[in-house]
Structure 1
C-alpha cells in the first residue's frame, strides 16, 4: 500500500498546544481517530457534540492536530491531557469508527505526513516487531490498539463509553491485541457497536454490548441546512452546473489503483453512463496515508473517454456531504460515503476490492445490519454497471423509511448515553 501523495501537510500539526483546563463540572472528552483526515472519523465528533446539547466537550485523539480547515476540530493528544488533569473525574466517549481492530502501527503511520509515512513503510513494514516498537514510541503509549482507551488512563474516576464502534475483523487480529481490546471493553461503562458481526464476536467473548447505528446516520437530520449551503457554493455548485442531468458521487481507496481494477471500473462506468446519462464526480473520503489517492482518479478519468467526469479537489467534510447529498447516488469503497447517502435517502453501493474474497468487511456488515433486504451491499468491480443500475432502481419511499428509522434508533440509543453522563 502507498500513502496518498496529496495528503495535506497541515492535517497533523507538530508541537503541543496548551492543554485545556478542566471545567468545574465533570468534563466530557470526545475521543477518536479524528486526528487525521478521514471523512467518517471527522463527522463523528460533530454528531456526538450536537447530541450532547449544551455540553462543552474536549476533542482528543492520539496526537495534537488541527483539522479545522477541513471541517474538523482542533484536537488534543490524550496522553498529556490525562497527565495534566490528574485526579479529576472525566467522562470519555469513544465517538465511533472501526477502532477495535486499528493497531498501533497502522494508527501511527496514518498520522504521519505523506513523505514520512512512505519512509516509515519502506523501512519497517516488513519488520513487524520493530514497527510496533517505533509506533508505540511515537504515540507515547504501550497500547496495541491505541484508539481503545483503558479505563485507568485517567487516575481519577472515569466513565468510559463506546459509541457505535466497529470491529468486524477482530477475530482475525493478533491474539494479544484482541485480548487487550476485550479487556478495555469489559471495563467500560457502556459499549455500543454498529453491526451484528461485531456484536456477535463480543457476545462470544462475554462482552455485553448494544447495537447502535453509526453516528453518521444523523448528518441530514442535524446538519441538513449547513450541507445545503455547501451545495450552492464552491466546487459542488460547479459540479451541479456541469452535470445538469445528474451525477454519480464516486470514491475508492488507493488499493483499487492497479491497471486491471481501474480498467474494470472504467468499463462499468462507461456502461452505466450510457444507460443513465449521468456524469461521474470523484471525491476523496480520506487523504491520510492508506486512504484515497487523487492520482488514481486521474488515471481513471483518462480511461473514461465517453463519460463526463470531474474530480473534486475539496477535502472539506461538508463539501463531501454536499456532493453526495446533491448526487443521484453514491458508489465507492467508503462506508461513510454509503452512510451519508443513506442519511439523505439516496441510492448507494459499495465497491468490493478484488482481493476481498469471502471476507464481508465493515461495509457489508453494516448493510446487513441496517439496510432493507432488497438494497444490495457490495458489488465486484467487474459487475459495477449492473450494481449501479440495481441501486438506482431502489424504491425511494423505502430509502426514506430507512433514513427515518436510523435517525430514530440512534436518537433513542444516544439518549441512554446522555442519561449516564448526568
Structure 2
C-alpha cells in the first residue's frame, strides 16, 4: 500500500466556535475519503474538544515538524473569517475568559508591533497575521485558502494590512466565500476564486431524518456582543413570533469560546420567555446543534454557521442585524435566493419570521435544496482543484516571485 501523504489543515480549531470546528471535520473527511491523504489538524495549541464532537488539534509547529521530510506539503487554511483575525483575538481565545478583554486591549497599550512579536514567539507561528501564512517563510509548503472570509481588510492598520496582502500574494491559491471579501481582495490585487463556505457539506457528513410534517420549532441564536441593550425587545419579538406561528423557540448555544459565548443572553431570554414559549439547547455539541437546526422550521440569529447549517438542511433562515454582522448578510446575499431567507433588525424579527414560516412550502424547500446541491458541487470542485494544484506544483519552492506568477493561479469568477 502506498504511504499516505500528510496534509495540514490549519485554523482556529482549538476554541469552541461552531463554524471553525466544522471546517476541520469537512476537510479531513473529504481529503481522506480515497485513502491517499492523512490530514493533520493544526491550530495555535494542542486542544481536545472531542466532548463537543470536534477533532483534537496539534500546534502548527508540530504539524510542520511532522511534515518536514516530505518534498512538498499542502497546507490548507480551512475556512472561517481568518483573513482579518489578529493576534489579540487568537491569544485571547487561549486565555481564561476573565482576561479575554484585557488581552484584546494590550496591543493598544504596548503597540501592535511589540504584541505581534510576543505572539509569534509564544506560538512559533511564522506570520504577523495568525491565520494568514505566506510561502516565503514555509519552503516546501503549498499554502492554499479554502473559501475563507475577511471583510474590511482595507480598514486595518498598515502593519496588518500589508502583512495580509503580502502573504496572500505569496501562496499557491486563494478562494473566498462572499462578495464582500472578494471586493476587498480585488482592492489589493490578490487573485482568487469565489466559492461557497465548505461547511455546506455537513449535511452529507451528518444526515438527518426530518419529517416535514412534524410541528418543529424555531431556532434563535444571538451572541453576547450583539445582545447588549436588546434583550427586552428581542423577548417581545420572540413572544409575538411564538403567538403568530404556534411554534416554540429553541434558544440555541452555538459558541462557548471567549468572545463567542452565547449562553448568558440566551439564559436571560429563557427567563423572560418562560418554559411555555421557549426552551434552551445549550450542550454545545456539534451534533446537537445540527439536529436542533435541521429539525426546525426557521433559523434566526447572528451566527453565520447557524445560517449555513439551516441552509444545508433546507431550512429558511434570517440574518439578524445584517448591518452589524456583515459576514452573515454578505454570505446569504451572495448565494441564497431572497425568497427563502430574510434580513431583520431586532424590531422586524416577528414580522419577517412569521412571513417566512407561513410562505415556506414544498416548492420553496425544493428550490433551496437545488441551490444547496449546486453549492456543494462548487465546494467539491474547489477542494479537487487544490489537490490538482498540489499535484502540479514543483517539489521545491524557488522564489516567492516564481510562485506569484504561477500560471495555475486563477482569477476571480
Q: Is the 2:97–2:258 contact (alpha carbons within 8 Å) kept by the matching residues of 1?
A: yes
Call closer, same or farther: CA 1:154–1:133 in 2, change over 3 Å. Answer: closer
2:12 to 33, 39, 53: 33
1:73 to 49, 55, 58: 55
CA distance in 2, matches of 1:60, 1:336: 21
Aligned with 2:249: secondary structure?
Answer: strand
Q: Does 1:188 align with 2:166?
A: no
Instruction: Kindly state the Cα deviation for residue 375 of structure 1 after the two structures are TM-superposed.
Output: 3.8
**4+ residue stretches of structure 1 with deviation over 6 A?**
none
CA distance in 1, matches of 2:172, 2:296: 40
Structure 2 length-normalised TM = 0.85
Call closer, same or farther: CA 1:199–1:270 in 2, change over 3 Å. Answer: same
Aligned with 1:27: secondary structure?
Answer: strand
Q: Does 1:108 align with 2:91?
A: yes
Aligned with 2:38: secondary structure?
Answer: coil
Residue in structure 1 matched with residue 150 of structure 2 by the alignment: 167
CA distance in 1, matches of 2:115, 2:265: 27
Instruction: Kindly state the Cα deviation for residue 305 of structure 1 after the two structures are TM-superposed.
Output: 4.6
Q: Does 1:362 align with 2:327?
A: yes
Q: Report 1:304-323 matches (<5 A).
A: 304-305=273-274, 307-323=276-292
CA distance in 2, matches of 1:125, 1:267: 40
Instruction: Kindly state the Cα deviation for residue 168 of structure 1 after the two structures are TM-superposed.
Output: 1.6
Instruction: Kindly state the Cα deviation for residue 147 of structure 1 after the two structures are TM-superposed.
Output: 0.9
CA distance in 2, matches of 1:345, 1:297: 25
Instruction: Kindly state the Cα deviation for residue 80 of structure 1 after the two structures are TM-superposed.
Output: 3.7
CA distance in 1, matches of 2:117, 2:390: 36
Aligned with 1:406: secondary structure?
Answer: helix
Aligned with 2:41: secondary structure?
Answer: strand
Structure 1 length-normalised TM = 0.83
Residue in structure 1 matched with residue 370 of structure 2 by the alignment: 401
| Post-superposition CA distance 1:171-230 (Å, at most 9, x none) | 222222121111111111111100111112212211110111001111112321xx55xx
Q: Does 1:247 align with 2:217?
A: yes
Call closer, same or farther: CA 1:251–1:138 in 2, change over 3 Å. Answer: farther
Q: Is the 2:239–2:277 contact (alpha carbons within 8 Å) kept by the matching residues of 1?
A: no
Q: Is the 1:368–1:377 contact (alpha carbons within 8 Å) kept by the matching residues of 2?
A: no
Residue in structure 2 matched with residue 203 of structure 1 by the alignment: 186
| Post-superposition CA distance 1:369-394 (Å, at most 9, x none) | 10113344521111111121233224
Stretch deviating more after TM superposition (372-381 or 260-269): 372-381
> How many residues end up aligned between the 2 structures?
378
Q: Report 1:323-334 matches (<5 A).
A: 323-334=292-303
1:414 to 353, 362, 383: 383
CA distance in 2, matches of 1:172, 1:128: 21
Residue in structure 2 matched with residue 18 of structure 1 by the alignment: none
Stretch deviating more after TM superposition (268-277 or 201-210): 201-210
CA distance in 2, matches of 1:415, 1:351: 34
Residue in structure 1 matched with residue 109 of structure 2 by the alignment: 127
Q: Is the 1:82–1:153 contact (alpha carbons within 8 Å) kept by the matching residues of 2?
A: no
CA distance in 1, matches of 2:340, 2:154: 27
Residue in structure 1 matched with residue 239 of structure 2 by the alignment: 270
CA distance in 2, matches of 1:382, 1:309: 19
Aligned with 1:66: secondary structure?
Answer: coil
Residue in structure 1 matched with residue 411 of structure 2 by the alignment: none
Q: Is the 1:99–1:167 contact (alpha carbons within 8 Å) kept by the matching residues of 2?
A: yes
| Post-superposition CA distance 1:87-108 (Å, at most 9, x none) | 5331101110100010000111
Aligned with 1:374: secondary structure?
Answer: helix
Q: Is the 1:65–1:75 contact (alpha carbons within 8 Å) kept by the matching residues of 2?
A: yes
C-alpha root-mean-square deviation of aligned residues, in Å? 2.4
Call closer, same or farther: CA 1:373–1:326 in 2, change over 3 Å. Answer: closer
Call closer, same or farther: CA 1:378–1:171 in 2, change over 3 Å. Answer: farther
Q: Is the 1:221–1:407 contact (alpha carbons within 8 Å) kept by the matching residues of 2?
A: no
Q: Is the 2:342–2:352 contact (alpha carbons within 8 Å) kept by the matching residues of 1?
A: no
Aligned with 1:105: secondary structure?
Answer: helix
Q: Does 1:151 align with 2:135?
A: yes
CA distance in 2, matches of 1:214, 1:37: 19
Instruction: Kindly state the Cα deviation for residue 128 of structure 1 after the two structures are TM-superposed.
Output: 5.9
